[in-house]
Amino acid sequence: MNLAFSPTQLDTPVSSQAAQFVAGLDDASLPNEVAQKARTCILYGFGIGLLCLKQETARVAEQSVLAIDGKAGARGSTSLAGGHRVSVSAAVFANAIMLHSRCQEDTSGTAHLGVIVLSVALALIEAELARPEDLIPGIVAGYEVAGTMEAAMGRETMSFGLRASPLYGAIAAAATTARMLRLPVDRIDAALANAAGFTGGTLQSVPEGTDEWRYQVGTAARTGLLAAMLAQAGSVSAQQSIEGPQAFMLAYARRAHEPGELSFGGKWRLLDVTFKPYPVCAHNQTVTLIGARINKRVPSAQIARIRLRISSYVVPGLLAPPPFSRVSETLMSSAFCCACACVYGTVTLAQLGNFDDAATLTMMQRISVEPTDELIYPESVAEIQTTSGELIEISEKRRFADFSFGRVEVIAQLHRLVAEEKIPKSAVTLLDEAAFGPSPGWSAAIVQAFALARAAN
């Protein structure tokens, strides 16, 4: 079955094309590599979540929904941070924030869609609103529809101060929900239109180092869930919600839609989803890798200066100087991430919180960060001058595909990380079996893995 919708469909609204694509997703039509990548995203996303249970934003999110909604009965879903049974909407909100709280989740361009679609999928299946056999098509729907839109408009919307994760994440949640509920095409269309009309989220918290960006994924997940539920109940929704004169593209990307530029299924965006070796901004992964290589090659005392060149695709916070007072600032700072890795050979969550570390701050003073059009994101290059006058160049000219890890690589990374947090490897085994095993019992295995991690904590 050909799921791609071509540029010849000029008269069909964008949301209708996306809805037809979503409705056509099933196990038989999905390429095996796409289905396997979706399963790897399940393993990675929830696996990183095991490491997030002690994060402050996870606690704040869970306490807020408990205060508003209280606990729920059998029809609810599990808030993974505390193991409480809450409403489906509350679980979607709290779990998306928790999975995002380490800043090591997967990345679709500049959007973190995985924490959103996984939270929606878990809540719907656990509450028996959706069937386990719809898990993979539902997850693919969210990544593909929102990922296609982010690929077309992400740089433009970010340049206007809009953060990609909540902006496109609400649409991802709506697509996942609509497919998992098996809505008909017209209701999927309405769900996507609702999400496009409800969505948003600014970047101002990033340069200020505050926490709004951490909670945005929760609001996006819940917004998309409600957008689909409204559609299921019969909402009347705009036909040209993406390309209309007052619609998504003109409002957020500030340009007109070009017919055919959004083609769903023509290129599988899920295959471009990347994973993070370090708990820092996606833009700082290659920067940190360079620092780790410098650590192995040049002792800190012998480094006179480092000229660090990065892509001109700069997001807020990358060039921010010290002093720092929050992890939200250090994980965004390219100079801090590179300096920390130069000194210690890695960057951990604990090191990101060590704002006054003398060795890292001293190394930062030797680093100049220079954005350049000569490098394509996520490429980075460092020129190191030693105290003896030697010049050394270290480059990380990576492509997104270099961070698209497979099942074996993800398991190895998770085993290393859970060992650091003293979480049993059996929790990772449960997640692996849930992601790649039979569908029945999927949600129970996820919940059980987090129960093991909470007990260890």
Rg (CA), the chain: 22
Within a domain: 446: no
- pLDDT for 1 beyond 50: no
The residue-averaged pLDDT of 148-174 equals 97
- pLDDT for 319 beyond 50: yes
Burial of 118-130, coded b for 16+ CB within 10 Å and e otherwise, reads bbbbbbbbbbeeb
Within a domain: 81: yes
**Alpha-carbon distance 53 to 33, whole Å?**
31
**Alpha-carbon distance 20 to 13, whole Å?**
11
Closest by CA to 43, choosing from 427, 444, 401, is 427
Residue 267 and residue 357 in one domain: no
Residue 178 and residue 265 in one domain: yes
Quick check: 23 and 184 in contact, CB under 8 A? yes
Within a domain: 136: yes
**Beta-carbon-side half-sphere exposure of residue 33 (alpha carbons within 13 Å):** 9
- pLDDT for 133 beyond 80: yes
Query: Sheet containing 303-311: which strands, arranged edge to edge?
Result: 367-372, 303-311, 380-386, 391-396
Residue 177 and residue 321 in one domain: no
pLDDT of the residue at 266: 85
Residue 199 and residue 291 in one domain: no
Within a domain: 328: yes
Confidence of residue 66 (pLDDT cuts 50, 70, 90): very high
Within a domain: 426: no
Within a domain: 59: yes
The residue-averaged pLDDT of 382-409 equals 96
pLDDT of the residue at 3: 52
Confidence of residue 74 (pLDDT cuts 50, 70, 90): confident
Closest by CA to 37, choosing from 117, 152, 154, is 117
pLDDT of the residue at 308: 98
- Over residues 77-114, the pLDDT tens digits come to 999 999 999 999 999 999 999 999 999 999 999 999 99
Q: Mean pLDDT check: name the lowest of 55-69, 383-397, 437-451.
A: 437-451
pTM of the model: 0.94
